[in-house]
Chain A
Amino acid sequence: MRALYLEFVRFFVSLRLTVGLLALSALLVLFATLDQVHLGIWAVQEKWFRSFIVLHELKGFPVPVFPGGYFIGGLLLINLVAAHLKRFALTWKKAGIQLVHGGLILLLLGELLTGLLQEEYQLRLDEGQTRNYSESWRFNELAVVDDTNATTDIVTAIPEQLLTDLGNELQVPALPFRVVPRAYYPNASLMLKENVPAGRPVVDNPATAGLGARLAITPLPITYQQDQRNLPAALVELFGPEGSLGTYLVSTMLTEPQRFSYAGREWTLALRFRRAYKPYALTLIDFSHDRYAGTEIPKNFSSRVRLTTPDGRDDREVLIYMNNPLRYDGLTFYQAGFDNNDKTTVLQVVHNPSWLIPYISCLLMTLGLLWQFGAHLLGFSRKRAAA
């Protein structure tokens, strides 16, 4: 038993493991970069780096082909910390090495935390428009809204992921009916049935209620391009105690929610870009797209926004421009784009509680390297002076 334990420890503290893992990391980066040609950056991050095992589809079946980023990074982290715990010695001579390794450990931890905690949303504002939520660029949700009250909405947001589990009854205390996903298309185009040209492939549409009954569904291949997004569609059947209330076709392509009445209340149903509500609101006062005089070459993009909180604690104007984001309430609002003939701004909203970690770790590593090389240089020059 003890021999096994020693073997276990020896494996995790060995330098050979470090070298092996570093070599695997280099290969991982190489393969992921090559795969980016087909998948785009988001899918590559999920497939190669934010996974334990890289699964590659061969003839429709996922086959494990390489250890993923979490696996390699995780083992590297364990290896580094274990080696330090085993061989740690508090001496000035080794302080530089320890700082460098400490920085590296922090860097790996930071990436793990970023992968787990970071969320990226976007906030689109027309000039004069106020919003207190941002929308996901990559994730969607089925919003079932109790619209009865004149001033407030009771929103039940069902993540898109749950719609892929066909036949699974989703029961939520806030809803007097159950929601059952019947079909799910990760990317699909919709058209009025009467407008479908001959030869356009369509799938069976069992929608019985709402606008969906008039639409034809054409599934599209999933896009991985960075500047494109998938527009999913789903068929959901609603069930009350008395039986089916109808099957609705929902899609992020349909921008107007579908309405119905049930149990004396008014409801809306929509598949929409996932929303993250904030306890404050932003109003776009003005978007500026400055160009160099006489040319179409952009010089600066900036958004003058007004930040307000309902309690009046904050009510101020902020200018957001390139490299000058607004940091507020744990979120960072970057100027990301514009639209609508320069009258709509697109802000990227990033939640990353661990954003400072890479800076701290780089600082630690710099100090460690300076210490280490400085000490060597000092020793060398002393020796030289003595000789």
Chain B
Amino acid sequence: MRRPLSVFLSASLSVLALSGCRREEIQTYTVKKEPAATPVASAPVAPNADAAMRNTAVTTAEGPGLNWTTPAHWKPGPEKAMRKATFLIPGVNGAPGAELAVTAFPGDVGGPLANVNRWRGQLSLPPLAEGDLTAALNHLDVGPLHLDYVELAAAGSPPARRVLGALVPHAGATWFFKLDGPDAVVAQEKPAFLAFLQSLRPAN
């Protein structure tokens, strides 16, 4: 019994001593390219992102930002790392409300067709062909800004959902304003959303 015991004791002490040593290593591997970026919430939320980040164009798009005026009943939502801003629009009598997400990314982020189809995909709507895009987009000229917005509704999948999405090219970046929520709430908020779009101005 003595021999196995001493072997066991020395072996376990060595294991204990060695188990503390772990060094991380550099890895190289090949992966398939990811499909076009999905801007909203494509990274883990970082709740401690500095509050100042929300008002700058640093994290996601370079260049100057945009200013806007929101209706009084839109409440600022929680800060999220990928978002420039979030606004919550309450539903009636405690029913689920809608959310306006503001994001911005460098370049054209795949162009209007890819982004409209991304939103359509989120509502389980079939993608649009390129020829149908012009009819789907509504154009607005707001001060120096030239923007397009789209209205999408998915009535089939209960609860019915509606999305009002605007794409605003500005200073080499594209800003996205996406109002998403229950069909009735978003439809009711459409005038407020359009007024909000009319209030957009370059920050400087």
Chain A, interface size: which category?
Answer: 35 or more
Which residues of chain A come closer than 8 Å to B30, judged between CB atoms? 152-155
Q: Which of A5, A52, A195 meets B20, CB within 8 Å?
A: A52
Q: Could you tell me if A74 and B12 are in contact, using CB atoms closer than 8 angstroms? A: yes
Q: Does B81 contact A (CB under 8 A)?
A: yes
Q: Does B56 contact A (CB under 8 A)?
A: yes
Which residues of chain A come closer than 8 Å to B96, judged between CB atoms? 291, 296
Tell me, in angstroms, the Cα distance from A9 to B2 when the chains sit together: 9
Q: Does B177 contact A (CB under 8 A)?
A: no
Q: Which of A237-245, A321-329, A335-343 contacts B (4 or more CB under 8 A)?
A: A335-343
Which residues of chain B come closer than 8 Å to A273, judged between CB atoms? 43-44
Q: Which of B29, B52, B59, B180 meets A341, CB within 8 Å?
A: B180
Q: Does B48 contact A (CB under 8 A)?
A: yes
Q: Could you tell me if B5 and A189 are in contact, using CB atoms closer than 8 angstroms? A: no
Q: Which of B28, B43, B58, B80 meets A190, CB within 8 Å?
A: B58
Q: Which of A158-166, A359-367, A372-380 contacts B (4 or more CB under 8 A)?
A: A158-166
Tell me, in angstroms, the Cα distance from A192 to B65 when the chains sit together: 11
Tell me, in angstroms, the Cα distance from A81 to B6 when the chains sit together: 12
Q: Which of B1, B8, B19 meets A70, CB within 8 Å?
A: B19
Total number of residue pairs linking A and B with CB closer than 8 Å:
184
- Closest approach, in angstroms, between the C-beta of A221 and any C-beta of chain B? 10
Residues of chain B in range 1-46 having any CB-CB distance to chain A below 8 Å: 1-2, 4-6, 8-9, 12-13, 16, 19-20, 22, 24-35, 38, 40-46
Partner-B contacts on A (CB < 8 A) = 5, 8-9, 12, 52, 70-71, 74, 77-78, 81-82, 85-86, 88, 112, 116, 122, 124, 126-133, 135, 137, 150-159, 161-162, 170, 172-174, 187, 189-192, 195, 197, 200, 211, 214-215, 218, 220, 223, 225, 227-231, 252-256, 272-273, 277, 291, 294-296, 339-341, 343-344, 346
Pairs A–B under 8 Å by Cβ, sample size 19 = A8-B9, A81-B8, A82-B5, A85-B8, A126-B40, A128-B121, A137-B44, A156-B26, A162-B24, A190-B59, A192-B58, A220-B50, A229-B48, A231-B48, A255-B42, A273-B43, A273-B44, A294-B94, A339-B80
